[in-house]
Structure 1
Amino acid sequence: MAYGVTTEWEDIHRKIGNLPEKPKVPTQDEIMSQVIDVVEQAEPLKYLSHDQLLEIQDDLDEDIFEKYRKQRIKELKEVAKKPRFGTVIEISKQDFIQEVNDAPKDVFVIIHLYQDYVPYCRLIDKCMINLARKFINHKFIRIQATRCIENFRDSDCPAIIVYKNSEVVHQMISCAGLLGENRISEGSIEWVFAQKKIWETDLEENPAEGVRKKDRDDERRSSDKSDSDDDREYSSNQIRKYKFR
């Protein structure tokens, strides 16, 4: 039965007081007002880029469009004020104070302590190049571990130290496992750093976990196939056994 519609029986009982007054049916204007309130609170336009706002300009109320356009321009100006880097730089121990301690305020400085012969270090270096281009407001640095810290153990490489305002905010020593080991990728590093609040990500899960799950599924299928082959071999041997008995 449609909302607000009652039966004759209900109307009779409502008249004699056996039933409470039926709820007032909201008008179309009242419904629209509620919808507008919800939409304004949700602010669905806040996640659109400036170009996307321009694309839907004709479909928006002029005041609403102007509000979000000014808001987005303000946000872009704030981003433009931030230092931009975009590359991974190699430093020496002598450069450390200048490049790390004297980095601009509120900038995350991501330092990769590496040894060339360690495969995971080479893999992380490749990923860092593209991550530096993506997260241009973060400063990426690499330095050979023993040139940075005397007697730093090769077994502790790769290591990543994150500074902000001259303070260490994260230490990831021997971090290959944390970043995905053989599954290390730009995505897996991006995911881990996002969990540590170094930056934000649009990723919905750690790509390394997806690869790990696929590997487990492949191993399971391979194991099932091997078991099946063993069963067939056993059956074949049994057939030969009884055939030539």
Structure 2
Amino acid sequence: MANEVNTDFKDIHELLMKSNEENNEITKDEPMSNFNEALEQDEAIDFLAYNEFSEIEDDIEKISDLRYRKEYTQEIQPTVKKVQFGTLIEITKQNFIQEVKRAPKDVYVILHLFQDYIVHCRLIDECLISLAKKFINHKFVKIQATRFLSNFHDSDCPAIIIYKNSKVVHEMIACTSLLGGNCISEGSIEWVFAQKNIWETELEKNPADLGDKTPKTPERRSSFQGDSSEYRGFSSRLKRKCT
């Protein structure tokens, strides 16, 4: 009888031990889950019990590598997303909205309104080509003035209109003198644009001042005159034409 009791007790004890082992068994998925959660708080190693850590020791290096890649990607992401251009392109009235008004967010669009026969317009084009390669995050475009606004006066050329987020932020009409007169250069344009916070420059002085001692006349408004019912200043006309 005693043997039967002992046998029963032994069976019960074995069942209890087996049940306890099953309840305390730690699967690999559990410590991995704990590790991933603690990883976000930089407490992975301290958080895990030794027996949990040993279960996933082989995977920690892989997880750490993935985390490094994630941090690196987040660090360079703004640079990667920043749009680059690098050229001066000629646009048409038909694609003006697409090229200028719908330019990427926070990108400055430098629009040159020109006439081919005007020497200073050609000179500015050459300078803008070089500047486009230097300031690659700015968009440089040009359009023949009368192809954009039929009544635009040649005397208002060259003209530079600068857009950001589809809005005009600067107007430089008949800007030959402003940009350096007969001493217009890549440097003189870079200097003037830097003073308007279009970009930053390492130039300490305006290069045009070294060769041209004539006083710079201020930029002026367009002399365009049209039917007042259709035109109320240069900016208004541009806005109406581009919406």
TM range (shorter): 0.5 to 0.7
Contact 2:145 2:152 in 1 (8 A): yes
Structure 1: state its 5+ residue gaps.
Answer: 1-69, 216-245
Stretches (4+) displaced over 3 A: none
> Corresponding residue for 2:130?
130
Trace 1:1-245 onto structure 2 (pairs within 5 A). Answer: 74=75, 77-212=77-212
Q: Which deviations, in whole Å up to 9, do the C-alpha atoms of 1:131-182 show, x marking residues without a partner?
A: 0000000000010001111210000000000000000000000000000010
Structure 2: state its 5+ residue gaps.
Answer: 1-70, 215-243
Give me the whole-angstrom Cα distance separating, in 1, the residues matched to 2:77 and 2:132: 21
Q: What secondary structure does 1:129 align onto?
A: helix
Q: Which deviations, in whole Å up to 9, do the C-alpha atoms of 1:43-93 show, x marking residues without a partner?
A: xxxxxxxxxxxxxxxxxxxxxxxxxxx99x94x653332100000111110
Sequence identity (%)? 66
Relative to structure 2, which stretch is displaced further, 103-112 or 77-86? 77-86
Give me the whole-angstrom Cα distance separating, in 2, the residues matched to 1:178 and 1:90: 23
* Amino acid in the other structure paired with 1:145: A
Q: Which deviations, in whole Å up to 9, do the C-alpha atoms of 1:72-118 show, x marking residues without a partner?
A: x94x6533321000001111100110001110000000000000000
Contact 2:101 2:165 in 1 (8 A): yes
- State the 1:199 CA deviation: 0.4
Q: Which has the larger radius of gyration?
A: 2
Greater helix content = 1
Q: What secondary structure does 2:168 align onto?
A: strand
How many residues of Structure 1 are paired with residues of Structure 2 in the alignment?
144
RMSD (Å), alpha carbons? 2.1
Q: What secondary structure does 2:187 align onto?
A: helix
Q: What secondary structure does 2:100 align onto?
A: helix
Contact 2:182 2:212 in 1 (8 A): no
